[in-house]
Structure 1
Amino acid sequence: MKRLQGRACVVTGGAAGIGEAIVVRLVEEGAHVAVADVDGERAQELAERLSGSDGEVLAGRVDVSVPSEVADFVERAAQAFGRLDGIVNNAGVAIPGSAEDISEADWDRVMSVNLKGVWAGMKYAIPHLRAAGGGSIVNMSSVQALVGFPGWAGYAATKGAILSLTQQAAVEYGPERIRVNCIAPGTIMTPMNQRIFETAPDPDSLIASWNASHALRRFGESAEVAAATAFLLSDDASFVTGTCLRVDGGLTVLGPSGQAT
């Protein structure tokens, strides 16, 4: 039997990159999945592509920085599927800038999407998970919550806050059989990172340096993050909560000499 057979999950930022891979994996595992994305057309195209699979797929345009839109979509998913067993708070934006250089508008934008979006997903999913007798929340953090990278003050701040929020919520809701975990990906070849490379003065050099920053000497694939997400949503992770699962190819254990420590 598939690990998520008959379960219902919401995935934010689910139309592209890591989010799309997560949706595909959850459907393969037998789940019903509600795909929320600011690109509603792409989310709908994904839902149509996956139609006919074991799990039902629905889609909607959702800006996670607007809590009322998150609330409406979560309610729609719960009504359509008759229950809600999990949510993956994956939606995010990467806006560069040091603490000195980032604009107030960019700071507010990254906070609204990356952090408020995760909070909103949790806030409106938890009552449905409670009604189902428990469930699983997976928040998408980053290795930037664990180690410092120059030029990413706002992004790092949100990803560190997601880790702390995950731990706090795991304690808060554990007695209700609601597990809360986060994932810290290393460099994953996603459309977001592709845009970074395309605008770099020397893309080949940047790609080579990012490869070298991982003990495995390569980027990760979205499907590898999706596999970790499916595990955390499943009963295979029934005694796992408050954990930050690093899916980083050894980035956070690679010392400054380039040797694993």
Structure 2
Amino acid sequence: MTALFPDGCALVFGASGGIGSKVAEVLATDGADLALVYNRKKDAAQTVASAAVAKGRKASVHACDVRDPASLSALVDSAVAEHGRVHTLVWAAGPLVEQHYLANTPLDAWRNAIETEVLGLIGATTALIPHMRQHGGGSIVHLGSAGHRRWPDRDGLSVAPKAANESFLQGIAREEGRNGIRANSVLVGVIDAGMFHELMAKGAFPDGWVEETQKALCVKRWGEAEEIGYAVSFLASARAAYVTGETINVSGGFGV
């Protein structure tokens, strides 16, 4: 069987989170070695690494503050030192998305979301591109929002920053395709993991939200984190070698 990934690793930001950890698990199952990036949850990232090693993959764990360019540069150097090459960047990082109507969203909340999600992705991508060019290319896969297809009330702190990332990655796809670098996104719907569980526990959604949201779905259930992983793995792999500047909406048909 032809390998789906070249030698080297997938650099997975947000690998300690509920969705990011499952994305990493699918990548390992499909044959990718991993450099797993966390901010605060070191133990969770190490658990993901141990599971990948049990599958026969190489896995390393790295701390990084994605808001700090020096931390991002050191991360790339560390991942390359461990694995020799980074062939894929997976962006699954982001803060807890508090639910506010746009007019009531505190400016500090916007600042935190943009610094982490937007400037973090831009910093990670620009830190890694010279390495990818040198090694004949690579793949960038961003976890976006199904809210780009239909605006969800009170979810602006997720949708708006990810929309900026979508625009940025369109530019990367345009400019870097000649260097063998592809950039794509998976639009994430309501996934029964991670942040969704935290928000439900906090009572962040109003009465009737579950019923109304499921009415907007073609597939009448929440998604599973592994289903995001399957789409990420495809876009990162050789099977998607002629795919760039695109999105896959993994949301049960939200927005149709």
TM over 0.5: yes
Match of 1:224 among 223, 227, 230: 227
Aligned to 1:21: 22
> 2:82 is matched by which residue type in structure 1?
A
Match of 1:170 among 160, 168, 173: 173
In the superposition, the TM-score normalised over structure 2's length comes to 0.92
| Runs of 4+ off more than 4 Å | 201-204
Partner of 1:259: none
**Is the contact between residue 182 and residue 244 of structure 2 (CA under 8 Å) also seen in structure 1?**
yes
Query: Matched residues in 2 for 1:3 and 1:174: separation?
Result: 19
Residues in 2 aligned to 1:37 and 1:76: alpha-carbon distance in whole angstroms: 14
Instruction: Report the CA distance between 1:146 and its aligned residue.
Output: 2.8
What per-residue deviation string (whole Å, max 9, x for no partner) do you get for residues 43-89 of structure 1? 12321333243220001222222232222112211111111111101
**CA offset at residue 234 of structure 1?**
0.7
Check conservation: 2:150, 2:254, Cα contact below 8 A.
no
Could you state the TM-score of these two structures normalised by the residue count of structure 1? 0.91
The Cα RMSD (Å) is 1.8
- Greater mean deviation of Cα atoms: 242-251 or 150-159: 150-159
**CA distance 1:202–1:228, shift in 2 (3 Å):** closer
Aligned to 2:36: 35
Gaps of 5+ in 2: none
Q: Distance in 2 between matches of 1:7 and 1:211?
A: 40
1:122 corresponds to which residue? Answer: 125
2:123 is paired with a residue of what secondary structure?
helix
Percent identity over the alignment?
Answer: 27
1:210 aligns to 2:210 (yes or no): no
Number of the residue aligned with 1:138: 141
Deviation at 1:202, TM superposition (A): 7.2
2:78 aligned partner, one-letter code: R
Contact 1:31/1:54 (8 A) holds in 2: no
Contact in 2 for aligned 1:212/1:218 (Cα 8 Å): no
- Is this contact kept in 2: 1:43–1:61, CA < 8 A? no
Q: 1:201 to 1:131 in 2, by over 3 A?
A: closer
Alpha-carbon distance in structure 2 between the residues aligned to 1:5 and 1:29: 12
What SS class does the counterpart of residue 97 from structure 1 fall into?
coil
For residue 193 of structure 1, report the CA deviation from its aligned partner. 0.7
